[in-house]
Amino acid sequence: MISKNLNESKKAAIFAGILLAVGIMAYSNSFHSAMVFDDKGFIIDDTAVHMTELSWSGFKKAALEGYPAHRYLPNISFAINYY
């Protein structure tokens, strides 16, 4: 039983290591690049995502009233970035 749990732990650690390595390789060409702020229209110009406090109503407003309206999670992310 203990060796089975240890074996599962090793598999999970190996999988996490591989996933981390793939992520680093995927983004390695961007580590030395300049930051590009390309979301101005979605964060600065969209007043629906201008959160002044972290609240359920602020998240709801950003998700439902932000542009474009069908992109709930990105709109919440933009609101958090603005905050």
Domain count of the fold of the chain: 2
pLDDT digits (tens, 9 = 90+) for 31-56: 888 877 777 777 777 888 888 888 88
Residues 80, 46 share a domain: yes
Residues 54, 38 share a domain: yes
Q: In which domain, by residue range, is 41 found?
A: 34-83
Q: What is the pLDDT of residue 3?
A: 63
Q: With cut-offs at 50, 70 and 90, classify the pLDDT of residue 72.
A: confident
What 3-state DSSP class applies to 55?
coil
Closest CA to 48 of 39, 59, 38, 40: 59
